[in-house]
């Protein structure tokens, strides 16, 4: 059970209301994540600002979704995996097979995007201490040193939302239910 509210626009703190109105215009509804972050209008603003800044990077919209999905999967955030699966497939028009491969933690058919997903997972797993082969492979795939830092920005954005979702127990919006995600069992019956 969560100790947090999921605010609607009229019930949100005053400083969060205009931010939630912007989300309503962008998505056609206020995602529960944003309604939960409205508890702290400053955090809500920070999250939205990170997203706006990430949109200005040299990563394409599909590449940004690869980063956001890969980080969310690595952080075990079912809410963000579902939300970004919908965003990737329907808003960004990413290849559904690629999104499904990410969700299933399988290699991506596009080698460059696979290198991006692998590098993003390494950043999360290794808490940013990525050197050697992981970094070299990312650069060898055609990414720049600037894009290394842009991946870190995407991971930062998702760490904020992933951790907040874990703490708030954010319920999945009906709009994201079609892509509900459960992490695949890593070790089968022997772990039970």
Query: Are 163 and 47 spatial neighbours (Cβ–Cβ below 8 Å)?
Result: no
131/168 same-domain check: yes
Nearest alpha-carbon partner for 58 in 138, 140, 150, 153: 150
- Once rounded to an integer, what is the mean pLDDT over residues 41-48? 98
163/90 same-domain check: yes
44/83 same-domain check: no
Distance CA 137, CA 112 (A): 10
62/49 same-domain check: no
Nearest alpha-carbon partner for 166 in 82, 83, 77: 77
Q: Which residue has the higher pLDDT, 18 or 185?
A: 18
- Once rounded to an integer, what is the mean pLDDT over residues 93-107? 96
pLDDT-derived band at 2 (thresholds 50, 70, 90) equals confident
47/95 same-domain check: no
Domain membership of residue 141 (yes or no) is yes
CATH of residue 32: 1.20.5
Per-residue pLDDT at 1 exceeds 70: no
pLDDT tens digits for range 129-148: 998 888 999 999 999 999 99
Domain membership of residue 165 (yes or no) is yes
Nearest alpha-carbon partner for 161 in 14, 66, 31: 31
Domain membership of residue 190 (yes or no) is no
Q: Determine the pLDDT at residue 132.
A: 86
147/120 same-domain check: yes
- Once rounded to an integer, what is the mean pLDDT over residues 153-181? 97
Query: In which domain, by residue range, is 43 found?
Result: 7-56
């Amino acid at each position: 059970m969560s100790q947090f509210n999921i605010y609607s626009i009229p019930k949100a703190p005053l400083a969060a209301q205009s931010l939630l109105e912007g989300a309503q215009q962008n998505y056609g509804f206020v995602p529960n994540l944003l309604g939960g972050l409205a508890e702290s209008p400053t955090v809500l603003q920070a999250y939205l600002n990170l997203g706006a800044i990430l949109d200005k990077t040299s990563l394409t919209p599909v590449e940004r979704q690869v980063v956001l999905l890969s980080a969310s999967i690595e952080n075990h955030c079912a809410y963000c995996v579902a939300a970004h699966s919908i965003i990737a497939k329907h808003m960004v028009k990413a290849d559904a097979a690629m999104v499904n491969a990410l969700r299933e933690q399988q290699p991506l058919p596009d080698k460059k995007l696979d290198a991006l997903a692998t590098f993003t997972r390494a950043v999360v797993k290794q808490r940013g201490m990525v050197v050697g082969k992981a970094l070299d492979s990312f650069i060898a795939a055609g990414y720049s040193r600037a894009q290394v830092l842009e991946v870190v920005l995407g991971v930062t954005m998702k760490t904020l939302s992933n951790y907040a979702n874990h703490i708030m127990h954010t319920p999945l919006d009906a709009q994201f239910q079609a892509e509900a995600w459960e992490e695949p069992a890593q070790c089968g019956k022997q772990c039970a």
